[in-house]
Structure 1
Amino acid sequence: MERRSFLKASAALSCAASLTGCKTGSDDANVTPTPPPVADESISWSACLVNCGSNCPVKVFSSDGIITRVEADNETTDEYGVNHQIRACARGRSLRQRTYAPDRLKTPMKRVGKRGEGKFVPISWDEAASTVASELQRIASEYSNKSILKLYGTGAYYGFSSSNCFNRILNLNGGFLNIYGNYSWAQQNEAAAATGFGSTSGSILLSLKDSDLFIGLG
């Protein structure tokens, strides 16, 4: 669909929704009400750790050990200069779907076919750890430790390979090759050098009201 056609269709749908919302009369009795919260829900706080430095707090509702819904931070006022709610984005709000996704891996998987074929079989954690250890030793002995590269991004900040524990293991094996720069903030670091602050950590949110120009990168 062309952009112009998409905008026309969106505008038409918005108008239709507005007209429907303005209707009154007996049809209102047929509107399905919003279902009430699940009975006997317990509330706990967690955080979105999906490879993002914000680590937004999320309110988790559960019943009988099963997550029923997830909400973002709405406990405090969201007033500029006084308090700032750190509201999770769509990724944080969808943690329930992520947790119960049908294709979520729940056990280590070992490739049994050729690379790219997508053939894997589940294995135990002991076998996975043993395989990783033997392969690290083999690669280091054949190609030196410079052939082992560790990235910090694993898709989750609570991941094992994101921790210093894994760095320790690799160093005990003779070391590893680290990354140069940053695959996520590289453009910000270069742009910040041309500003008066000189770094990405030199400014704060409260300075927005005094700014003549604000650039958001996403």
Structure 2
Amino acid sequence: MKNTRLARRFFGNLVPRLFGSAIILFIFYPQSFVSSTDFSDIYDFYKKGNYDTLVKVSRSALRKEEIDYRILLLYTASEKDPEEIDKTLKSIYDRKESHPGIFYNSVFLFLERCLVLENIESGLYWGKIFLERGSSSVRYAEGLYTYACILFEDGKFSEAKQILSKLKEWKSTEKLNKKIRILELSIEKKMEAQT
């Protein structure tokens, strides 16, 4: 009987104390109680065209120590601000010595954006990294071509030519081979004009 009363007193007070502690923890550490974002959530936003939501939710997922590179790929495809993509890629790149091919697929998407937006500085930075480390990407040949285009836009014709020579070692599609040949001709014209 005495034990029962003690148990009731202890457990009767325990529930409100636990509830109060949970509220305090939630106030000070809300991120611990928010369910983790997984790829399927992000992919649903992508399929529905909710890119702003995708970007917002992805940012917190990409700050974690272990990231899902598929989320990074969708983030890179959806983020409007190239500076934010650049910062995010650098943050992830600096965390580890090596990354899987899907990381370099994201770099490829960013290289394309750098070329279109004439963001030469970032394009040169990531192009060099892609050249040296991105061979595991399924978009490696296209990435090298994009990097060569960025070099061409920056007036670095001999470097662009070297990239195209390296690119010829890879099996490229007929369409890409035509683009390579057109860029080579453009480089030759520019180099002739300089002499």
TM-score (norm 2): 0.22
More helix by share: 2
- The structure where strand makes up a greater share of residues is 1
Instruction: Give the TM-score, by structure 1 length.
Output: 0.20
